[in-house]
Each structure stands twice: as C-alpha cells, then as structure tokens.
Amino acid sequence: RIVYLNGEYLPEDKAKVSIFDRGFVMGDAVYEVTAVVGRKLLDFAGHEARLTRSLGEIGIENPFAEGELLAIHRELLARNDIEDGGIYLQVSRGNPGDRDFVFPDPAVVKPTVVLYTQSKPGVLQSESALHGVRVISVPELRWHRRDIKTVQLLYPSMAKMMAKKAHVDDAWFVEDGFVTEGSSNNVYIVKDGVIITRPLSTDILHGITRAALLRYVAETQIAVEERPFTIAEAQAADESFLTSASSFVTPVVEVDGVAVGTGKPGPIAQRLREIYIEEALKAGI
C-alpha cells in the first residue's frame, strides 16, 4: 500500500512518525473516514468541512491548501487502485521534540498529516446490511466534546469489546437515560412512520452520513423528529437503524436482547439505505 505522510507518497513500511508526536503521546489529533464506492468519494465536501471545524475547535492550523485534500485523496485512490473501501485521514498537532502538556508554537511545530486507503471489495453487500445488527447499551463515559472527531477512541473501542463479549455487533452509549449515539455511528428509531434521532449538540458527533441522509429524507414524505430517545423506546420502536461513512445506513434489529419490530431489517431502514446509496453515489466525486 502507498500511503501519504507530510507531503510524500511512501510505501506503508517507509512511513514513520516520531515517538514524540502528540497524536501518539497525547491523542492530540483529529481524523476523518471517507467512503469510496465504485471509485467515487462519498460526501467528500462534508468530511472536508468537518475536518476544518475539528481542527479549528482544538486549535490546530489547517495544513491543507484549497483543493489539496481532494487531490491527495484522488492520488491515493489511483496509486492503490481502490474500487471500494475508504480513506482514513489523521492530522495531529505534530512533534514538539519532547512531552509537554502545553501546545507547541504552531509557527515552529507543524501538524503531522497521514492518509491511507482501506480496500473493502463489495462494501455495499455486507452481512449487517442484509440481516441488521444487534446492539447492547453501555454507559456514556466519553468526554463532552463528542462533536470534535478526535482520535481518542479508547472508550469506544472498549464499548465494542463489551459488545463482542456479549456476542452482538455494537454498543450504544446511554447518558442520563437517553441514547447519545453508537460506538462509531449515529442512531435512529422509527415509530409510526416517523424517524427519531438525537439533535446535534456537543453530545454527539455531527455525522456526515446523518446530514446527507436527512437532506435526502427531506425530499420524501417521511417525517423526522430530532429529539433524544431511551433504550425502552428503541425496544418498542417499529424499526431502528444507524449511519456512518463506513456502514452507510444499516438496520438495527435488536437492542439489549429485545427484538426491534419484527426483529428483521425494517422497510423504512431498507428504503433509506437505498436512497442514501443512490443519492450519495450520484453526488459522489
């Protein structure tokens, strides 16, 4: 695999980052994942805009000139001959030369930029899309700026491990009795034909797939209510689903051991997956 590191395209085993890099030592970095389907980037502009916002929120200078990020994405896709999969991007505050809590002077220390491709042939035909996923709830223990897409993914990883141990697919975080989001996705329930999902705030990541899907749904007759919901509501819902760049729209069929609706992917979730994929591919670049 050819990867991108600080302006260079390198074989992955030649791409090296300092042990002092703040991304490594402090988790001082933000990231994005952009889906690739049929050689097209989905929702690229949204991911670029969120990256700019994340960098701004933690005060890392945006290292990309206008158009540069897209050019790097395209170059990596071409060099690695990627048809389906994704591109991972990470920008850390860089290497200050030693460990220090205080941010280094941005005039001296430049951000570390890493991008690499992930090939997933036939990414649209997943088992989880076909059969839906099962989830458990776990306490929400992340920090309270979940709107910033930082690489601090220890607790989400632990939540995934709890799910794995429970022989299910994923975990939903619950705070003050309400679901915030999934370990790496935004979550929804459908009741009486209405899609219910938590409104944007610092409580959740502002999903790019969520934003695109809600734009597409606005063109249909399906109503959306942005409000928090509980696990009991999810268990009593007609349907449930989740969204993310790597899973698109994926049905959720079980929450904490209770089947949602029929226990099979619901018609609205399946239709939304089709709508999202069709529209995102049409708009893909």
Residues that bind ligand PLP in the complex, under the rule CB under 6 A? 33, 181, 184-186, 205, 207-210, 243-245
Q: Is 149 a catalytic residue?
A: yes
Question: Given the complex with ligand PLP, which of 109 and 189 has the nearer CB atom?
Answer: 189
**CA-CA distance, 174 to 147, in Å (whole number)?**
16
Query: In whole angstroms, how close is the CB of 132 to ligand PLP at the nearest point?
Result: 18
Q: State the alpha helices, DSSP H only, in the chain.
A: 22-26, 44-58, 68-80, 127-131, 154-165, 208-217, 231-235, 267-283
Query: In whole angstroms, how close is the CB of 209 to ligand PLP at the nearest point?
Result: 3
Question: Given the complex with ligand PLP, which of 109 and 187 has the nearer CB atom?
Answer: 187
Count Cβ neighbours within 10 Å for each residue of 237-271 and write b for 16 or more, e otherwise. Answer: bbbbbbbbbbbbbbbbbbbbeeebbeeebbebbbe
Catalytic residue selected from 120, 149, 160, 164: 149
**CA-CA distance, 11 to 130, in Å (whole number)?**
36
Whole-number Cα distances in Å, 51 to 57, 61, 149: 10, 11, 8
Query: In whole angstroms, how close is the CB of 18 to ligand PLP at the nearest point?
Result: 26
Question: Given the complex with ligand PLP, which of 94 and 182 has the nearer CB atom?
Answer: 182
Question: Given the complex with ligand PLP, which of 92 and 180 has the nearer CB atom?
Answer: 180
Cite the active site residues.
149
